Amino acid sequence: MTTESVTLSRDEPFPLPTERRYPLDLSTRIPELRRLYHESNASIWNVADDLDITAIDVDRLDDQTRAAAALSWSRRAWLSFADISESEAALVRSCLELDREADFKFVLATRGTERAVAADACHRIAQRLGGYRATPPEGTEALFTAEPIRRALDERVDFDAYVVAHFVVLATIDRALLETAVAATTDATCRGALERILVDIERQETAGRIYAEARLDRLDDDARATVTANVVDVVRLDVLSGRRCVAFVDEDIAGGAELRMAEELTAHAGLGAATLVAQGEAVTAALAALHADLDRLGLDGGAATSIETAPASPRSPR
Amino acid sequence: MTAPTPPHDVLELPDHHVSLDLGETVPAIRRMYRAAVKTAWDPETAIPWDEVNPEQYSPEVIEAARVYWSRRAWGEYGAISESPAMQFRYVLEGREPDLSLFWALRTQEEVRHAEVCMRMADALGGYHLQPSDEELKAIAGALGTRARVLDRSRPLEVTIAGLVCVAETVVYDVFLELVRAATNPVAKQIFRLILRDEVRHCDFGWEYLAHRAPQMSADELEDCRQAMISMIRDVELAGYRSAWLAVDPTPEEVAVDELVFDAGLGGVRAEWEGPIVVASIRAIRGRAAGLGLELPTFQHHLLGEI
């Protein structure tokens, strides 16, 4: 078993696992996960009824701030949209393997819906703020082509290692970043959207932790070492690259400064982002908390999270 | 000798997220996505589970109903395990994002359908974990939706024409009548709720083909037409969905469907379902004609000329 970087290579034909479907147990094996699945079913929100996009007072904003906030929300839309196919790919992967609990499959299906609703909301808010941007700033495109489908489906990557990296570690970091953004947001509509997205992300994080706990006690030491190595790989690919946290975007790459500036301006206007300093601190704190959490799961939390996380210092927004 | 592994070369396509236009490109499908969000239901609360009352049925009916509802759950599960591959294709081929938003909801709807069918089987005495050995042998090696979708040599529109526009439409039409025929309140409510979702699943296929047809070549449209013909002639009328339609049906399967139907728990009877299937195929022919796809008449040993 290897880590997710290898799935990005196209040197060999893609290794898709073969499904073993029967016996097909659809019963509840992990009740707490089934409860979260039902909770998600009962709490789907929709942009039209639950958010008043027109209440965002765009007239008070100067052009630079509007454009910055539109880019910040566009970035959230790109990430949320990519999470839809990531969720469905993880769902298919869980179905390909015999004996994966239906409870987790069902939760993954709700995650796809939640991410679709989030993408829709972020797109509409970006539109309201002066225009959704379909394309990242030039030079940052690679940050947003993370190949989520291949990474979930590649049989060379152990699925439990995938689950821990994405649904425990990245979910924890996403949640921490969202909490920081909520705290910095004064606009009621933007804050309302972030709070709703946060509730869904928290539920998915809880589900990921419950499932990891249920699975990891079956793993031997070698398999646990693989899980740890994959966490390191995924944090590097998805967080330290700047993909999920703009504080880590290299300001010297073309377009990097624009992404960073957009976050700062949006944060200062209270429109849905945290400052880069706050984002970097949120990731550092999340990784510190994960150290202990991963230890409790029988993994090497220290190795998984001892990553140089100091982001480049932010420049003045203006 | 094992069958060769079908290609899944869609997964070799590069990620297309560099440019992502999230505006409405296919408005009808965006509306369906929004309707799906608004009308989501919760299997815990939307179904009166305490009204199954299995004690009112004979042991023979109960066992048939367990098999019938377990089969329904296995069928719905196929849409969980296989249909998300459509999502991969939308993304990797850079299709309209409306499709992805809608499909995410569709996948969750299929999960609900599988769950309620499993629960109904359980309420009637116990969900079966797998088909009989004979059924497993019969389906071994069959090319599923995932394999079809991940093969780039099969255009996406062709898969949609066969699997969505034809297969899902027939199922929808049968369910529409089952809501009326079922007398068990739980079965009736399950069919009603599944229908509420399935109407969008069918319309999705037709709306997308209508959107794409003007941009497709004559050869591509012909491939769609052939997919529809094959799905009607070789799958639907051959009895893959409803056993009695087969030339040489398995008597046990037909008996299960009839017992369950007579008890008002779902199922089918040939004399009841035949006119529905005929009407459905005629309606599909009419809808296909609207896209410029002329479907031929079909022959069936029991239904005659359709």
A2 HSE (CA, 13 A, CB side): 12
The b/e string for A303-314 (b: 16+ C-beta within 10 A; e otherwise) is ebbeeebebbeb
Start-to-end C-alpha separation, chain A: 48
Task: Note the pTM of the prediction, 2 decimals.
Answer: 0.95
Touching A: B residues 45-74, CB under 8 Å? 45, 73-74
Contacts of B66 in chain A (CB under 8 A): none
The pLDDT tens digits of the residues spanning B8-49 come to 888 988 876 668 899 999 999 999 999 999 999 999 899 999
% of chain A beyond a pLDDT of 70? 96
Low-confidence winner among A3-7, A196-200, B165-169 (lowest mean pLDDT): A3-7
Per-residue confidence band for A14, with pLDDT thresholds at 50, 70 and 90:
confident
Neighbour tally for A138: CB within 10 Å: 10
Token readout for A262 is 């957009």
Contacts of B5 in chain A (CB under 8 A): 18
- Residue A64 makes CB contacts below 8 A (sequence gap 6+) with A265
* Amino acid present at A66: R
Contacts of B87 in chain A (CB under 8 A): 84-85, 88-89, 112
Cα distance between residue A213 and residue A296, in whole Å? 9
Number of residues in chain B: 306
Cα distance between residue A111 and residue A107, in whole Å? 6
DSSP state of A218: T
Q: Which of B25, B95, B23 is CA-nearest to residue A127? A: B23
The pLDDT tens digits of the residues spanning B221-260 come to 999 999 999 999 999 999 989 999 999 998 999 999 999 9
Q: Evaluate the CA torsion angle B125, B127, B133, B134 in order and state its sign.
A: positive
pLDDT at res. B2: 46
Question: What average pLDDT does the structure give for chain A?
Answer: 93
Q: Which of B212, B196, B158 is CA-nearest to residue B32? A: B196
Average of per-residue pLDDT across A224-246: 94
Token readout for A66 is 């509007």
Contacts of A22 in chain B (CB under 8 A): 129-131, 136
- Residue B299 makes CB contacts below 8 A (sequence gap 6+) with B305, B306
Write phi, then psi, for B299 (nearest 5 degrees): -110, 135
Token readout for B44 is 């815990």
HEC string for B65-126: HHHHHHHHHHHHHHHHHCCHHHHHHHHHCCCCHHHHHHHHHHHHHHHHHHHHHHHHHHHCCC
- Residue B1 makes CB contacts below 8 A (sequence gap 6+) with none
- Residue A120 makes CB contacts below 8 A (sequence gap 6+) with A47, B22, B33, B101
Average of per-residue pLDDT across A66-74: 98
- Residue A308 makes CB contacts below 8 A (sequence gap 6+) with none
Touching A: B residues 96-115, CB under 8 Å? 97, 100-101, 103-105, 107-108, 110-112, 114-115
Yes or no, beta carbons of A82 and B17 under 8 Å apart: yes
Per DSSP, chain B holds a count of helices (H) and strands (E) of 12, 2
Would an 8 Å CB–CB cutoff place B31 in contact with chain A? no
pLDDT at res. A12: 84
Contacts of B15 in chain A (CB under 8 A): 145-149
Cα distance between residue A147 and residue A30, in whole Å? 30
Yes or no, beta carbons of B12 and A106 under 8 Å apart: no
Average of per-residue pLDDT across A274-293: 95
CA dihedral angle for residue B238, residue B242, residue B244, residue B249, rounded to 10 degrees: 60
| Contact pairs from chain A to chain B, CB under 8 Å | 158
Cα distance between residue A216 and residue A232, in whole Å? 17
Would an 8 Å CB–CB cutoff place B95 in contact with chain A? no
Q: Which of A157, A143, A21 is CA-nearest to residue A89? A: A157
Token readout for A213 is 């706990």
Token readout for B125 is 């005495």
Cα distance between residue A130 and residue B211, in whole Å? 29
DSSP state of A244: S
Average of per-residue pLDDT across A180-191: 98
Q: Are B127 and B191 in contact (CB under 8 A)?
A: no
B221 HSE (CA, 13 A, CB side): 17
Yes or no, beta carbons of A144 and B91 under 8 Å apart: no
Yes or no, beta carbons of B18 and A144 under 8 Å apart: yes
Cα distance between residue B189 and residue B123, in whole Å? 14
pLDDT at res. B144: 82
Token readout for B219 is 């050869």
The pLDDT tens digits of the residues spanning A265-279 come to 999 999 999 999 999
Write phi, then psi, for B228 (nearest 5 degrees): -65, -45
Cα distance between residue A171 and residue A211, in whole Å? 13
The pLDDT tens digits of the residues spanning A20-69 come to 889 999 999 999 999 999 999 999 999 989 999 999 999 999 999 999 99
Token readout for B295 is 């479907």
Q: Are A55 and A107 in contact (CB under 8 A)?
A: no
Residue B18's closest chain A neighbor by CA?
Answer: A141
Start-to-end C-alpha separation, chain B: 40
Would an 8 Å CB–CB cutoff place A48 in contact with chain B? yes
Token readout for B53 is 């009352």
- Residue A147 makes CB contacts below 8 A (sequence gap 6+) with A7, A8, B15
* Amino acid present at A293: D
Would an 8 Å CB–CB cutoff place B298 in contact with chain A? no
Question: What average pLDDT does the structure give for chain B?
Answer: 93
Average of per-residue pLDDT across A106-110: 97
Per-residue confidence band for A90, with pLDDT thresholds at 50, 70 and 90:
very high
Would an 8 Å CB–CB cutoff place A204 in contact with chain B? no
Under-50 pLDDT residues of chain B:
1-3
Closest partner residue to B12 (CB to CB) among A10, A22, A78 is: A10
Average of per-residue pLDDT across A226-247: 94
Q: Which of A78, A248, A247 is CA-nearest to residue A148? A: A78
Cα distance between residue A87 and residue A109, in whole Å? 7
